[in-house]
Chain A
Amino acid sequence: MLSAKRWVRVAAATAALFLGLGVAFPASAFAAEDVSAGEKLNADELKRLAALPEGDRNKIRDRLNQEHGKSACSDPWFHGLMGGNECENISAKAFGRFLTTPEKSLDYDGKAAPFCAGLSAVKAPATGLGWCVGKTVIDQWAPIAGVAMRAALMTTPGGRGVLGVVDTVAFIANAKNGFEDFANTVKAEGVKAANEVLNNLLKVSEFQVNKSFTGTWAVFSGVGIFLMALMYLKLWKDVAEEEVDMESARHALVWYGPLSMVLVLFGPMVGWYLNTWIGGIVDGITPWTSSRVADFMTAIARFASYESTGVFGPLAAVVLFGLMWLGAWSMLGLFALQPFALYLLGTGIALMIGFMIHPKYRPRVLKTGTLWLSIALTKPLMLLIMAAVFAFIVSQPAFAAGGVDDGLVNATSVFIAGAAMCVLGFAPALLFMFVPMLPSTATGLGAGRSSVVGAATVAGAGAALSSMIRQRRTAAIQSGTGHGSSRTNPGLNGRSSWILPEDRPVRDPGESGGHGRRAAAQNQAQEQGPQTIEEAQAAQRSGSGGSRAGAAVRSGAARAGRGSAKIAAGGAVAFLMAGRETARQAAIRGQQAAGSMAPDTSHISGR
């Protein structure tokens, strides 16, 4: 009796504390909404800008400063007092005195004081200087944004790279028949799709715990609370039939009952914190990844200039560029579906939260929660793998300065790029085999009811993936990168070698500025470079070069496909499945508590 009283007191105090906090800080869950930079460059473009070589950056800066000069000199008085036509050049130089990086130039807010100081430094006419100081503001000056900024950026090669524009050359000049024409189309589409997708990869995939999500959560948790009431009935029935002992019943009543209510209130907040935390990881990784992607963009520009030579004819072009097209879109689908899956799973959790009170069904909730966390964590993991793969591709001889004038080598490089993107696009299926304890019917991965360890497993996901890749030798690419990293770190086993890239980018942001980041990235590339080139050469020596390697990739992919046939078939659809599965489970449990109706997963997990 005393112990019951104490329990009640503790539970009540805890509940009061949390509810009190919830009332005091209900807004914190909405804090994630931030303001966009408007018509300026998006985060992706800024990252690419930061990753450009110094020379290209300077060209972009000078071009933007020229625009500023044009803007300032559009003032007739200033134009006249500065001596007419020379105005723009002198002003651009004056802007260059203090807008020393392209970022500063993009962010310039029209303050006159530094500009006037710059004018005096570049020895502008005294009349113009007087106007600048006397006017104090450049009132007709407009910030460089929107169309004007893009037009200015387009005039420099680096700027085109930042904006992700690529001009494709016809694969077969003067196509003679429909098929050659088709080859041209496939090439243009493949290159364009790969380019666009890579450009936008980092920005499509954002899951946010925002008002829309909390609204949906509220509705679903309302149903969830109703289901909880039914669960109580079921619990009492089970207690009466002595299927559940009093100990568990007490736990359910005074601990899990209030806890699930607290979770209903704080679920979005917990989700927000987790999501923000993972967002931090992603932010730590993306600079490194995007500089790899930026390197790959130059590779794509190379693709764009490919023309039919030797064996690299129209049929090969259709197949290879088609593969690239497929790979690009599968990657986009993957990243687009990730937030969607998180959203659905999140609402699924709200729906089944009442299940927590029944000892028999409690693990299901934990399992779904773990799945959510796992999917959330796949993004940083994917970015790491992606960067590694692209680093490998760029190190290929076909992309060395000047390129190679060999149809076969070029065809191989297209194939590797396409296949790599396909592997990335379908990799989550491979990841899912080892990372979460999936409640997916398709995979039979539901085993191991104590899903709490799933979260810990996720942390080792990279390691798991690595060992899996080692086992399967899925593709020449993957074994290449795998070797590369492990050999640069002798003494480490396979598991930690795959985690290696993760260590780097997380450290990267700590280093000051873009230089540090770039330097670190180059380091990485250098460490990997020799190895991968060596391997490629080995592959070439071993026979018919690229086609041989291609065959290896193909058969490897086929094996991987067989190994995880059901998921791999769906690829990114696995995300969808997971989300739908959760909702379905919840719905079914709601109607019929009996275990016999549970989907396949529970057969497996119940075994």
Chain B
Amino acid sequence: MREHWKALTALGVVIIVVVIVVIIMTRPATPAPETKGAGKLGFPVSDIRIGEGGSRKAGDGKTPIGYDGSCNSAIQAAANYAPLLRDFSFKTWAVQKKTLTEVSKPGEWFKNTTFPNDFLKNSKELPPGTSTVGFLRRTDVAAGGMYRVGFCKEKEKAVVQVFAGSVGARVNAGLSAGFETLSLELSWDGDWKITDSLPGSTATEDFGGKVKDIGPYGGARESDGASPTLTASMVDDVFKNASREGWVEYANAKR
């Protein structure tokens, strides 16, 4: 009988071990520490705000110019210049083009960037189904609200990417909202001046090697005229072909 008592004891030990393991395993797992940044969507948030910086306004009365040449000011300038490149309305294009000239240096890129708008402006008829809307595209930088610095040397040169929302009219269809990345090369000439941009440049997707990748884009959807607020799933969608590394939120991004 003795050996069986031993066996029983051994069994008891095994059962106790099993029970302990079961208890340990079924305890609610402590969530892994969040390595995400401070923002809602997991990106770090900076102090830099869209629409600020600069000491005066450009000819259109709203675009800030006169930056101090720091890298932070380049990031501000990129956000503030973005609408000049990407907005389009038949009524305001003339003024906008003039302002764009003010904040940039002419070159092949400028022709490429402004040509389509000029083309539309000069075409005899509006694209079908777009006449009821007052604009063809409106950029909402705060809706995207992120930037990535590709390169920056104070008072010399900076390459900044800006992730912005946009609402556009479509041919024979309603408005559509989407997100896109603008890549801007800024050069210092008493102020930050645009010397190249993507879209617009005929350069490759990495902006001639100046940026890591083209950046997030996409997420097109029907719109009532406003850019949608970015959600985690939309972020997943727009970033499916781009790296998340280096992207930082503006302090006043729409979230």
Tell yes or no: B49 within 8 A of A by CB.
no
- Assess whether A257 is in contact with B2, with CB atoms less than 8 Å apart: no
Contacts of A73 in B (CB 8 A): 171
Q: Check if B176 is an interface residue, CB within 8 A of chain A.
A: yes
Q: What are the residues of chain A within 8 A of B55 when measuring CB–CB?
A: none
* Chain A contacts for B132, CB-based, 8 A: none
Question: Does A151 sit within 8 A of B, measured CB to CB?
Answer: no
Say yes or no: is B178 at the interface (Cβ < 8 Å to chain A). Answer: yes
Does B10 touch A at the CB level, under 8 Å? yes
Q: A15 on the interface (CB 8 Å rule)? A: yes
8 Å CB interface, B1-48 against A = 2-4, 6-8, 10-11, 13-15, 17-18, 21-22, 24-26
Stretch at the interface among B56-64, B112-120, B185-193, B245-253: B112-120
Please state if A79 and B166 are interface contacts (CB–CB under 8 Å): no
Are B168 and A75 in touch, CB under 8 angstroms? yes
Judge whether B10 and A19 touch: CB under 8 Å. no
**Least CB distance, B228 to chain A, in whole angstroms:** 13
- Does the CB pair B136–A76 fall under 8 Å? yes
Q: Is B112 in contact with A137, judged by CB distance below 8 angstroms? A: no
- Tell me the nearest residue of chain B to A128, going by C-beta: B116
- A19-B17, A113-B205 known; A139 and B166 CB under 8 Å? yes
Q: Contact between B218 and A110 (Cβ–Cβ < 8 Å)?
A: yes
Chain A residue total in the interface (Cβ 8 A): 48
> How far in angstroms is the closest Cβ of chain A from B234?
13
| 7 examples of A-B residue contacts, CB within 8 angstroms | A4-B6, A8-B7, A109-B241, A136-B199, A136-B205, A254-B11, A257-B14
B83 close to A (CB within 8 Å) = no
Per a CB cutoff under 8 Å, which of B3, B169, B199, B214 touches A134? B199
B146-178 residues at the A interface, CB under 8 angstroms:
166, 168-173, 176, 178
Give the residue of A111, A127, A250, A253 whose beta carbon is less than 8 angstroms from that of B119.
A127
Of the candidates B3, B17, B202, which one forms a contact with A1 in the assembled complex, judged by CB atoms under 8 Å apart? Answer: B3
Bound-complex Cα distance A246 to B172 (A): 87
Known: A73-B171, A137-B214, A250-B7. 6 other contacts (CB 8 A): A77-B117, A77-B136, A111-B241, A137-B199, A257-B15, A258-B18
Do the beta carbons of B7 and A140 come within 8 Å of each other? no
Indicate whether B220 reaches chain A with its CB closer than 8 angstroms: yes
Answer whether residue A230 sits at the interface, using C-beta atoms and an 8 A cutoff. Answer: no
- B220 x A77 contact (CB < 8 A): no
Q: Is the CB of A74 within 8 A of B119?
A: no
Considering the complex, give the chain A residue whose CB is closest to the CB of B3. A4
Contact B214 A142 (CB under 8 A): no
Given A139-B217, A141-B220, check contact A134 B7 (CB 8 Å): no
A181–chain B nearest beta-carbon distance, Å: 43
Which A residues touch B70, using CB under 8 A? Answer: none
CB atoms of B168 and A140 under 8 A apart: yes
> Which single member of A76, A142, A253 contacts B8 (CB below 8 Å)?
A253
Q: Is B198 an interface residue (CB 8 A)?
A: yes
Q: By the criterion CB–CB under 8 Å, are B112 and A134 in contact?
A: yes
Residue of B nearest to A135 (CB): B199
When chains A and B are docked, how far (Å) is the Cα of A131 from the Cα of B220?
19
Q: Tell me the bound Cα distance from A139 to B216 in angstroms.
A: 11
What CA separation (Å) do A136 and B202 show in the bound complex? 9
**Nearest-neighbor residue (CB-CB) of A4 within chain B:** B3
Q: Is A22 an interface residue (CB 8 A)?
A: yes
**A407 beta carbon closer than 8 Å to chain B:** no
Instruction: A261 to B15: give the CA distance in the assembly, Å.
Output: 8
| B87 at the A interface (CB under 8 A) | no
Residues of A participating in the B interface, judged by any CB pair closer than 8 Å: 1, 4-5, 7-8, 11-12, 15-16, 19, 22-23, 26, 73-77, 79-81, 84, 109-111, 113, 127, 130-131, 133-137, 139-142, 218, 246, 249-250, 253-254, 257-258, 261, 265
Is A140 a contact of B199 with CB atoms below 8 Å?
Answer: no
Report B90 CB to chain A, min CB distance, Å: 11
B180 within 8 Å of A (CB atoms): yes
Q: Which of B4, B11, B120, B221 contacts A76 (CB 8 A)?
A: B120
Instruction: Pick the contact of B25: A1, A4, A23, A250 (CB < 8 A).
Output: A23
Query: How near does chain B come to A233, taking the closest CB pair, in angstroms?
Result: 14
Question: Which among B22, B176, B198, B200 is the interface contact of A140 at CB below 8 angstroms?
Answer: B176
**6 closest A-B pairs (Cβ-Cβ)?**
A74-B170, A8-B10, A76-B127, A142-B220, A4-B3, A135-B199
B10 A12 Cβ-Cβ under 8 A: yes
The answer on a CB contact under 8 Å between B220 and A140 is: yes
Is B72 close to A, CB under 8 A? no
With known contacts A137-B180, A140-B176, A75–B170 Cβ distance under 8 A = yes
Hey, which chain B residues are within 8 Å of A246, CB to CB? Answer: 4
Residues of B within 8 A of A23 (CB): 21, 24-25
Q: Is B99 an interface residue (CB 8 A)?
A: no
Contact indicator per residue, chain B 97-133, by CB within 8 Å of chain A (1) or not (0): 0000000000000001101110110010001101000
Q: Is B240 an interface residue (CB 8 A)?
A: yes
CB of B176 to closest CB in A, whole Å: 5
Q: Knowing A76-B127, A139-B220, A142-B220, say if A130 contacts B112 (CB, 8 Å).
A: yes
Q: Is the CB of B10 within 8 A of A11?
A: yes
Q: A12-B14, A15-B18, A257-B14 are in contact. Are A79 and B199 (CB under 8 A)?
A: no
CA distance A77 to B11 in the complex (A): 79
Judge whether B21 and A19 touch: CB under 8 Å.
yes
Shortest Cβ gap from A441 to chain B (Å): 35
**Within 8 Å CB of B171, what residues of A?**
73-76, 79
Report yes or no: B14 in contact with A136, Cβ–Cβ below 8 A. Answer: no
How distant is the Cα of A140 from the Cα of B127 in the complex, in angstroms? 15
B25 touches A26 (CB 8 A): yes
CB distance from A237 to the nearest CB of B (A): 15
Closest to A253 in B: B11
Out of A11, A80, A110, name the residue touching B14 (CB < 8 Å): A11
B99 to chain A, nearest CB (A): 20
Q: Are B25 and A137 closer than 8 Å at their CB atoms? A: no
In the complex, are the beta carbons of A133 and B202 less than 8 A apart? Answer: yes
CB B182 to nearest CB in A, in angstroms, measures: 10
In angstroms, Cα B13 to Cα A258, docked, is 10
The answer to whether A140 and B170 have CB atoms under 8 Å apart is: yes
For window 183-227 of B, CB contacts with A under 8 Å fall at 198-202, 205, 214, 217-218, 220-221
- Return A253 CB to nearest CB of chain B, in Å: 5
A-chain residues with CB within 8 Å of residue B180 when the two chains form the complex: 137, 139
Residues from chain B with a CB closer than 8 A to the CB of A11 are 10, 14
Taking CB atoms, residues of chain B closer than 8 Å to A127 are: 119
Nearest CB on A from B155, distance (A): 29
Given contacts A75-B171, A79-B171, contact A254 B7 (CB under 8 A): yes
Closest B residue to A137 by beta carbon equals B217
Q: In whole angstroms, how far apart are the Cα atoms of A258 and B7 in the complex?
A: 12
Chain B residues near A139: list those with CB within 8 A: 166, 168, 178-180, 217-218, 220
Return chain A residues, CB-CB under 8 Å to B113: 134
Q: Bound state CA distance, A19 and B178, in angstroms? A: 51
Chain A residues contacting B205 (CB-CB under 8 Å) are 113, 136
Nearest Cβ on chain B to A266's Cβ, whole angstroms: 12
A22 touches B25 (CB 8 A): yes
- Expressed in whole angstroms, the minimum distance between the Cβ of B220 and any Cβ of chain A is 4
Q: How far, in Å, is A569 (CB) from chain B's closest CB?
A: 44
Q: Give CA–CA (A77, B93) in the complex, Å.
A: 14
Residues of A within 8 A of B178 (CB): 139-140
Indicate which residue in A8, A15, A16, A75 contacts B6 across the interface (CB closer than 8 Å).
Answer: A8
How many angstroms from the CA of A15 to the CA of B112 in the assembled complex? 72
